[in-house]
């Protein structure tokens, strides 16, 4: 089968022929239809320090997909050939304290599909059935393909009550963009998003936030003065940029009693004014992955009740032209990029 592989310990990816994956008794063989390029895949493409310490050279990358079940392991229940599925890319151990208490998201033995081993940027993927998620027919292919990042957004945004709350999103990458839609759907009052990238801020307007802040031209504080912010700042701040400057700004911008939820991958050490955190009684929460499968059902049910994240998908390429997709992502002038394995 054809697969997109990190073939050498250097930047870039190659299209290679690989044997069809073998499945175990508890696995599904999934024929891949569509995949999406994640920020994680960009790290793997660039082969930065994190990537070179994480992905074994020779691995197929990719973890965001939609496919159809082609073969079912003999011990699998609840799936059959022809089922349309996406899946959770975090493979959990099943035997630790967290797995045994229904908190797979906290499993310390988690391995990532396409991150610690072979992934889904290929014609076929073998996946444990306990990681597969059946997609209702009404969810369009492209949206079904991005359930993993949408799940990150939902996990982050719904960490705290948003009803009637003022929400600041720092970072207008695909995750931040979808967060506008999720926050509004969840009942937020003002939703403000900030970034430096004019393309992404323009794209953000399609999600109709209360305000879009170009940090090159204005500050969030100045823009917030013109809004009817209810309190001394934003009730809930969603950090989705990974920028230390963004995190530092949240000390000032977060309201008394406010919440800061961090999904963006910051450097290991990044400053924040701890006096503001303490005296304003700010709660800070880090987010990793998705609650399996609570987050998946929350995302599905919001889509079924009108959530629209479709403007985040800006480009589709045939999978064999994956380089164009990666170039588009690397340019910064894109939302989500889909690779289609059916054309």
Binding site for Zn ion (CB under 5 A): 38, 92-93, 96, 99, 107, 109, 148
Nearer to Zn ion, 38 or 122 (CB): 38
Nearer to Zn ion, 40 or 249 (CB): 40
Q: Is 275 a catalytic residue?
A: no
The C-alpha angle with vertex 120 and arms to 41 and 336, in degrees rounded to 5, equals 45
Nearer to Zn ion, 36 or 203 (CB): 36
Shortest CB 67 distance to Zn ion, Å: 16
Which of 40, 92, 145, 210 is the catalytic position? 40
Nearer to Zn ion, 66 or 107 (CB): 107
Shortest CB 112 distance to Zn ion, Å: 9
Q: Each residue of 290-329: b (16+ CB within 10 Å) or e? A: bbbbbbbebbbebbeeebebebbbbbbbebeebeebbebb
Collapsing DSSP states into helix, strand and coil, what is residue 274? helix
Shortest CB 310 distance to Zn ion, Å: 18
Helix%, strand%, coil% for the chain, nearest 5: 30, 25, 40
Q: Is 63 a catalytic residue?
A: no
Shortest CB 63 distance to Zn ion, Å: 6
d(CA 314, CA 316): 7
Nearer to Zn ion, 42 or 211 (CB): 42
Q: What angle do the packed helices 147-157 and 294-304 form, to 10 degrees?
A: 100
Shortest CB 335 distance to Zn ion, Å: 14
Gyration radius of the chain over CA positions: 20
Q: What is the sign of the dihedral through the CA atoms of 329, 193, 270 and 64?
A: negative
Nearer to Zn ion, 93 or 211 (CB): 93
Shortest CB 143 distance to Zn ion, Å: 15
Contact 33, 342 (CB under 8 A): yes
The C-alpha angle with vertex 307 and arms to 224 and 64, in degrees rounded to 5, equals 105
The C-alpha angle with vertex 280 and arms to 277 and 282, in degrees rounded to 5, equals 50
Both tokens of 140, joined, read 């369009």
Active site residues: 40, 43
């Amino acid at each position: 089968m054809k697969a997109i592989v990190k073939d050498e310990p250097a930047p870039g990816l190659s299209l290679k022929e690989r044997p069809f994956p073998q499945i175990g008794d508890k696995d599904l063989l999934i024929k891949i239809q569509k995949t999406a390029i994640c920020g994680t895949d960009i790290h793997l493409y660039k082969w930065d320090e994190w990537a070179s310490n994480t992905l074994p050279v020779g691995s197929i990358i990719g973890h965001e997909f939609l496919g159809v079940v082609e073969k079912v392991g003999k011990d699998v229940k609840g799936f059959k050939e022809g089922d349309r599925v996406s899946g959770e890319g975090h493979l959990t151990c099943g035997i630790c304290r967290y797995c045994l208490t229904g908190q797979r998201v906290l499993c310390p033995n988690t391995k990532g599909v396409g991150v610690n081993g072979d992934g889904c940027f290929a014609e076929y993927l073998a996946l444990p059935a306990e990681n597969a998620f059946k997609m209702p027919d009404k969810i369009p292919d492209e949206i079904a393909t991005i359930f993993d990042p949408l799940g990150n957004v939902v996990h982050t945004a719904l960490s705290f009550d948003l009803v009637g709350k003022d929400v600041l999103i720092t970072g207008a990458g695909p995750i931040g963009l979808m967060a506008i839609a999720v926050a509004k759907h969840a009942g937020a009052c003002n939703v403000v998003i900030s970034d430096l990238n004019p393309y992404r801020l323009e794209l953000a307007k399609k999600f109709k936030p209360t305000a879009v802040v170009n940090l090159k031209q204005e500050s969030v504080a100045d823009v917030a003065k013109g809004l009817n912010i209810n309190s001394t700042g934003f009730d809930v701040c969603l950090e989705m940029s990974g920028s230390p400057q963004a995190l530092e700004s949240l000390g000032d911008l977060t309201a008394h009693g406010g919440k800061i939820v961090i999904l963006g991958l910051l450097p290991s050490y990044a400053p924040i004014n701890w006096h503001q955190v303490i005296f304003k009684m700010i709660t800070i929460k880090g987010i990793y992955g998705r609650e399996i499968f609570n987050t998946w059902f929350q995302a599905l049910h919001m889509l079924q009740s009108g959530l629209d994240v479709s403007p985040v998908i800006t480009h589709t390429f045939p999978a064999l032209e994956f380089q164009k997709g990666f170039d588009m992502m690397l340019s910064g002038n894109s939302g989500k990029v889909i690779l289609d394995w059916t054309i």
